[in-house]
Structure 1
Amino acid sequence: MPLLSTLIDNFNDNVIGPEWGNAYGGVSEVGGRARIPCTAGNYAGYQTAKAYTLAGSSVYLQVPVAAAANGATVEAQTVFAITPDPTQGTNLAININTVANTIRFESNVAYTDGAAVSLTYSAATHLWLRIRETGGNVLWDTSTDGSTWTNRRTLATPAWVTAATNTLALDLWSYRNNGTSNFAEFDNVNTLTNGAVYTGTGTGSAQTTGAATGTRIATGTATGTAETAATATGTATYTGTASGSAETDAIAISDGPDTSDAHLRIGRPAGRWAVSEPWK
């Protein structure tokens, strides 16, 4: 049972995904948004397959561009609707009409809702829109940033919402009765990607002078050979083992050079020496 909350698209790949298999009217993805033509006498929209459920679920999105009036005399509409199959004219919707400068929160039957809540449309205040079903009620909400929501209408859940299991479609559409063609844009379905991000300007230097206390490390270039042959000049000392009496010749035996012809003569010390054991 796919809930509408599982449908996620930020349109950043600029390719209409398979989840919008019923898209119609020449829609496209441009600049990371779903773009829907608003052309006199023609409907166009992004529409999913009729395979979702709203009961116990929700769907929210961003409307960065509502189709401007551009000479229309009755309606230039940008609409976010949840529609059951196969009932025609029945849906839950949020309808922006820039000719009347209104935003309406609707539960339509036979294409009308005499009890719809209507407010003056504000592109900033109504940037984010949400429809949800919870606790036996349907709620229509708006937000400036996609995080903090204001409820605009609450209605007991229509019977068709709970009965229409896996048969609902999300339909994002636009229409005008006359005037000059333009478009509406939707973005960030069930995701805050790119939401509540503010871009400002600043001045500074790419290489700012600063002071830091720490350890300096000097890095230089060195050339060397890993295994360089070298010649050393010095004195070689050979140590051996000798035995004998105080005045006896001794032969030093070493593991070094052949010392078999070397003799060690030990005698008494000369005057002005400090003599210690065993000579005293």
Structure 2
Amino acid sequence: MALISTLVDNFNDNIVGPDWGNAYGGVSETGGRARCPCVAGNYAGYQTAKVWTLAGSSVYLQVPVAAAANGATVEAQTVFAVITATAGTNLAFNINTVANTIRCESNVGYTDGAAVSLTYSAATHAWLRIRETGGNVLWDTSTDGSTWTNRRTLATPAWVTAAVDACALDLYSYRNNGTTNYAEFDNVNTPASSASVYFASAALTADSAQTASATRSIVVSASLTADSSLDAASIQAATASAALAGSSELGAKTDAVDTDDITVQLSEPRGGWTVSQPWI
């Protein structure tokens, strides 16, 4: 089931993307917005394929520019609608700058006699949302895409729950006559601040104290490729020196005969010996 809340486009690439394969009437992406020309007698719109489900889901967007009246006598429309395969059956916000109204519509055969009509305000109705929950369809508006005000609640039409993967989002403009201009849509299911970067400043005085504790870090180098993980462990090595002193004794073992207990006796020579000095 493709919930319509998963359809997301901020139009920042200035290319009509594949999600809008049924776009018609010469639409374009300009300045990071979806632009629909509002031409007398012609419809122009960003439309998806009928592959989405609204039941249990929601869709919201921003309307930075509603098509101005520019001489139209009946209608200059800027419309945000969830449609089905049945022509004229849809849920919609319909802004008409000729009448200066915004209508919350549940149309069958292109009409809704019970539509809720409000005085249109570009600021108050800058963001629009259609959602289905708890057996009801709700139409909500917002100034900032964050805080919402409910404008109409209706028991969920049978076609909403039956149209599983069969709904489309249609963002279009139309005028009956007058001078051509355009309507613009932006930020489908995405807040305007989703890619914002915020900067903050702090005033520091001389000799101020830093309260954050210091953190010791070890820097190692590694050759990395895209989306690779670093699994090398860092090793801290220490080198130390020491001065060593030592003394030793050299001992030698000798096999000489111990003569301390030998007594030498001298006596007169016996016969058979040849005697020389000093014995003569």
TM over 0.5: yes
Equivalent residues in 2 for 1:70-89 (5 A)? 70-85=70-85, 87-89=86-88
Structure 2 unmatched runs, 5+: 210-246, 248-280
Does 2:35 correspond to 1:35?
Answer: yes
- CA change 1:41–1:90 in 2 (3 A) is same
Offset of residue 106 of structure 1 = 0.1
Alpha carbons 1:76, 1:176 under 8 Å: kept: yes
The 2-side partners of 1:50 and 1:191 are apart by: 21
- Find the aligned partners of 2:78 and 2:187 in 1 and give their Cα distance: 16
Cα separation, 1, equivalents of 2:17 and 2:109: 31
Size of the aligned set, in residue pairs, is: 212
1:150-165 pair list within 5 angstroms: 150-165=149-164
Q: What are the Cα deviations for residues 93-151 of structure 1, in whole angstroms up to 9, with x where unaligned?
A: 00000000000000000000000000000000000000000000000000001111000
After superposition, the Cα gap between the structure-2 partners of 1:196 and 1:62, relative to the gap in structure 1 and judged at 3 Å, is farther
Task: Name the CA distance, whole Å, in 2 between partners of 1:132 and 1:211.
Answer: 52
Q: Secondary structure at the match of 2:161?
A: helix
Q: Could you state the TM-score of these two structures normalised by the residue count of structure 2? A: 0.71
Contact kept in structure 2, 1:146 and 1:196, CA below 8 Å: no
TM-score, with structure 1 as normaliser = 0.71
Give the equivalent residue in structure 1 for 2:188. 189
Larger Rg: 2
The residue number in structure 1 matching 2:55 is 55
Distance 1:214 1:10, change over 3 A: same
Q: Percent identity?
A: 80
Cα offset, 1:58, TM superposition: 0.3
The Cα shift of 1:195 comes to 7.1
Amino acid in the other structure paired with 1:212: A
- Asked whether the equivalents of residues 145 and 196 of structure 1 are also in contact (C-alpha less than 8 Å), the reply is no
Shift of 1:21: 0.4
1:213 corresponds to which letter in structure 2?
Answer: D
Alignment of 1:115-130 (within 5 A): 115-130=114-129
After superposition, what is the alpha-carbon deviation per residue over 1:24-43, rounded to whole angstroms, capped at 9, x for unaligned? 00000011100000000000
- Whole-Å Cα distance in 1 between the matches of residues 65 and 90 of structure 2? 22
Q: CA RMSD of the aligned region, Å?
A: 2.7
Q: Deviations over 1:27-83 (max 9, x none)?
A: 000111000000000000000010000000000000000000000000000000000
Structure 1 residue ranges without an equivalent (≥5): 200-208, 216-240, 242-280
Change (3 A) 1:113 1:178: same
Q: Report if aligned partners of 1:23, 1:46 keep a CA contact under 8 Å in 2.
A: yes
